[in-house]
Structure 1
Amino acid sequence: MNSNPMYMEYVDDADPQTAPPRRGWRILGWVCIGLSAVMVVGSLTAYGLYRKAFGNISHEDVNAQLGPNRPKKLNSAMNILLLGSDTREGSNAKYGRSMKNEPPRSDTMILLHLSPGGGQAMGISFPRDLMVRMPACRTKDGRTVPASARAQINSAFTNGGAACVMKTIESISNIRIDHFMQVDFNGFKSITNAVGGVPVCLPKDVNDPKSKLRLGRGKHTIQGETALAYVRVRHGLGDGSDTDRIKRQQKFMGALANKAMSAGVLSNPRKLLSLMNAATKSLTTDEELTPQVMMRIAQGMQGMTSGKLRFVTVPSGPDPADPNRVALTAGAQPFFASIRNDKTVPSEPKPGASKIPPSQVRVRVYNASGIEGQARRVADDLESQGFQVSVGGNASTTAITKVLYGSGADQQAQTLTALIPSKPQAAARVSGGSPGVVDLIVGSDWTALKNARGGIPKQDGEIKADDDICKGT
């Protein structure tokens, strides 16, 4: 099974003029996508200097294709769909001439979620072989591709371009997507050169004849052809599993974003202009994502550090109907709900509300949701808020989240209840409860803890842009 959202194959092991017709190399522009995100969240303050670079961007009107029936906006967050197209048009043809006349696909789909207040951002990858219900989509020439009860998500781009991908992800997540940014893979080498190379860490010596990657064990800063070889290599690194490859590629994207967001790039007009030119030459956006809008977003995200840029894969696993495909797991809808409900910093407590801070509240978390690992995830989020937390284990499945407490913990229970958006049953004192302890029984209605700092709770397997590049190698 290949559940890798940044899957790569290549046809140019032989001469590109003579390579036999077969499924082609997919570098997919996912690295360029990392730079598209940086363009939005970076500290771009001198618009006049970069006007020419912004002029490189192509724009597309998607409103007519999307139609009026879209999810409602529940918060002031910004959601931007980042797409990597495998088109072989123009100079992209050398990366698989046998595919030149095939319709383009988008095998890289990342929803960039910018939290309200500009403090955090999360890149959410959707695996290319994720099986979903596909909505009816309008093509650019006005035809309608009918809905399908079961289809691979990357076919949405072929059906109706960026608008169809937006419509498909909105239909499965109920998250309103504000804009899209689409890139191809032609500018990859220029981008890695523009940032002065990307740091990587190899666990062993590599000499792979297919990708032509030849590097020794340890840390390296790579760019150009070497960087291209690194993202192409399939069998020379890791254990060959999809999970290992996903993590390695997301680490590369994080390291690239970290390098691009560093002061050495953002504060250097020459380097930043070079980076902007490299990233924008292969960039297409919706018509509403104008340079002025991008600048406003950038100004709102000015204080964000690379440590607040995180990468995750949408909760998914083997498709029960086909082990070679991927399906959303039970954790997907709670995850989507946490994004929809991502709020700004709460206002001051209302009169009569508990004034006991989270640091003085002891909470035990029990999993009654039926979702494996839910108690640990909720506990992690509570800890990030400052609560004293322990995991109590599993409880009988219930549809409704409950807050129970022992003697002397009524005010502590109010502090916890105020941060639960799913409106649990009124906090109740129980005779068998531990004195001073609040028990949180997480039901199947759980969405996400209200986050006093804004943002999304920690996710399993997430990677931060400023992570140690040698961690886990």
Structure 2
Amino acid sequence: MPKRFPSHRSAGSRAVRRGLGLGGWVAVGTTALVIGSSLTAYGAYYDIYGNISQETVDTDAWDRPTKVEGAINIMIIGSDVRSGDNAEYGGEIEGERPDTLLIAHISPNHDGAVLINLPRDSVVDMPSCEPNGDRPGMDAHRGMINSAMNYGGVQCQWKVVEQLTGIHIDHFVSVDFTGFKEMVDAIGGVEMCIPEPVDDPKAHLTLEAGEQTLNGEQALGYMRSRYGQGDGSDLSRIDRQQVFLGAMLRKVMSGEIMSSPSSIYSFLGSVTDSITVDDQFTVDKMTDIAIQMREVDLGNIKFLTVPNGAHPDDENRVAWTQPDADQLFQAIANDTQIVEDEPEEDEAEESAEEAPTVDPSQVSVEVINGTDTPGLAGTVGTELQGKGFVLAGTGNPQGSVPGRTTVYHGPGMEAHANTVAAQLKKAVVEESPLLGSTVQLVISADWDGLKGDSSSSSTEVLDSIDAKTAEETESAC
């Protein structure tokens, strides 16, 4: 029988604890159990993990995506409820909504891990959730992805993430704010480059510009800071979090920490005392994951955010870009390697010469279906809309169809046509004096789809995704 975690806290009677879960999980998933074997007493190793709190989740309550053997997917959550030691970071907020929501995909088949941010401001089509304890449940509706937690707790949030992404979630992890501070202090702080001075009263953060080592209190403020840095958006904050967590991961994996039993024990203690997991996430399963991750290079741990853009109804909210988002989810669900192929030198030069010079939102495009595939113009038009283009209409050709898929443009609109062509696998660009400001995409028999669409091979790069490895997140002044 697997050994269960003893707990002096009642997990069923309290809310899931607040967290910056990505930092906790990256640290735990890639180091905690890997270095646990270096502890002299196996009993001490189990004693550390006995601090973890648990919560029961009934995953039989909904139809679930198929699990791919070998791969592990962890839902990372953190809550906007702030009380006790956390109350100073923004004051009390009604309800409980994840401040951070991610999927950690651990792939033994590809010797690495991918951590996908699901922005909390994402507006999505939410499935219904049954009442759960003191949570009222919710009807199916369109809303912000993080509101599921407030209506139905972790169980509802788990269901929402699975049904939106098609990814089988194996476990969840939550890490609270106070624990995050303790993690940073346990490793002696994290070195960061702060490009510009920061003064964010809401995050209780004041920093000078330049290279410096952030302690736990400063690190928490840096991770929480939104309005004192960048453009004030959640996406901008996610980028900074990825940089910080990459630096933290490098520090944890460094020889200085790994060679110090006291530092290891202190770090593991701060992690495990601050996290909540589902009651099926046993220490033995964590050990299995750690064994899988033992030889993983930092270059094979990738941070990315689901492809997205401003929501058409509210620029302060996020809409997932399709079909890119679904293609990413499908790759993760099937444990498919996302390969970034380097272009041939000639192709790279040609691509640079034809690089689009117009924002898609400024391009009006009409899509004409010159093939025998019914509804293709509508499908392609929707995909272009998902990439930010303005769809002027769809239809069938009134005359002859060119032998190659062609983007036609009026005088002075070549850059607009090139912007459309850059999204297609195969297309030529031609001028038509009969056209005005709207460009026209005529799909012909050689049609091969949009770059990154659902028909793409598993080895094609997802152009819209800016993936960073743990090595590449390093910041320099």
1-structure distance, mates of 2:229, 2:83: 31
Q: Is 1:181 matched with 2:190?
A: no
2-structure distance, mates of 1:118, 1:269: 30
The equivalent position to 1:115 in structure 2, one of 107, 115, 118, is 107
Long gaps (5+) in structure 1: 1-26, 346-357, 375-389, 403-439
Q: 1:465 corresponds to which residue?
A: 470
Q: Which one-letter code corresponds to 2:50 in the other structure?
A: G
2-structure distance, mates of 1:222, 1:262: 17
Identity of aligned residues (%): 37
What secondary structure, in the 3-state scheme, does the structure 1 residue paired with 2:173 have? strand
Q: Is 1:190 matched with 2:185?
A: no
Which range moves more in the overlay, 326-335 or 90-99? 90-99
Q: 2:458 corresponds to which residue?
A: 449
Mark the CA change 1:62 to 1:448 in structure 2 (over 3 Å): closer, same or farther: farther
Long gaps (5+) in structure 2: 1-16, 352-375, 387-421, 428-441
Written as runs of structure 1 = structure 2, the 5 A alignment for 1:387-406 is 394-395=426-427, 397=443
Q: Which one-letter code corresponds to 2:35 in the other structure?
A: L
Scaled by the length of structure 2, the TM-score of the pair is 0.68
Q: Which one-letter code corresponds to 2:332 in the other structure?
A: I
Q: 2:19 corresponds to which residue?
A: 29
The equivalent position to 1:50 in structure 2, one of 39, 45, 49, is 45
Q: Is the contact between residue 400 and residue 442 of structure 1 (CA under 8 Å) also seen in structure 2?
A: no
Written as runs of structure 1 = structure 2, the 5 A alignment for 1:257-268 is 257-268=249-260
Q: Is the contact between residue 401 and residue 442 of structure 1 (CA under 8 Å) also seen in structure 2?
A: no
Written as runs of structure 1 = structure 2, the 5 A alignment for 1:73-472 is 73-95=67-89, 98-99=92-93, 102-117=94-109, 119-141=111-133, 145-206=137-198, 211=203, 213-240=205-232, 242-330=234-322, 331-343=324-336, 370=380, 394-395=426-427, 397=443, 444-450=453-459, 460-467=465-472, 469-470=474-475
Q: Which one-letter code corresponds to 1:117 in the other structure?
A: N
Pairwise CA distance, 1:145 = 1.9
2-structure distance, mates of 1:134, 1:287: 25
Q: 2:57 corresponds to which residue?
A: 62
Mark the CA change 1:323 to 1:78 in structure 2 (over 3 Å): closer, same or farther: same
1-structure distance, mates of 2:116, 2:173: 14
Pairwise CA distance, 1:142 = 8.0
Q: Is the contact between residue 397 and residue 443 of structure 1 (CA under 8 Å) also seen in structure 2?
A: no
Q: Is the contact between residue 307 and residue 465 of structure 2 (CA under 8 Å) also seen in structure 1?
A: no
How many aligned positions are there?
374
Q: Is the contact between residue 255 and residue 469 of structure 1 (CA under 8 Å) also seen in structure 2?
A: yes
1-structure distance, mates of 2:52, 2:229: 36
Mark the CA change 1:76 to 1:329 in structure 2 (over 3 Å): closer, same or farther: same
2-structure distance, mates of 1:80, 1:322: 30
Mark the CA change 1:285 to 1:459 in structure 2 (over 3 Å): closer, same or farther: farther
Scaled by the length of structure 1, the TM-score of the pair is 0.68
Q: Which one-letter code corresponds to 2:183 in the other structure?
A: I
TM-align CA RMSD: 3.8
Mark the CA change 1:133 to 1:372 in structure 2 (over 3 Å): closer, same or farther: closer
Pairwise CA distance, 1:52 = 1.9
Q: Which one-letter code corresponds to 1:78 in the other structure?
A: I
Q: Is the contact between residue 55 and residue 278 of structure 2 (CA under 8 Å) also seen in structure 1?
A: yes
- Residue deviations 1:227-272 (CA, integer Å, cap 9, x gap): 2333344454335455443322221122122222333323432212
Q: Is the contact between residue 317 and residue 328 of structure 1 (CA under 8 Å) also seen in structure 2?
A: yes
1-structure distance, mates of 2:26, 2:186: 16
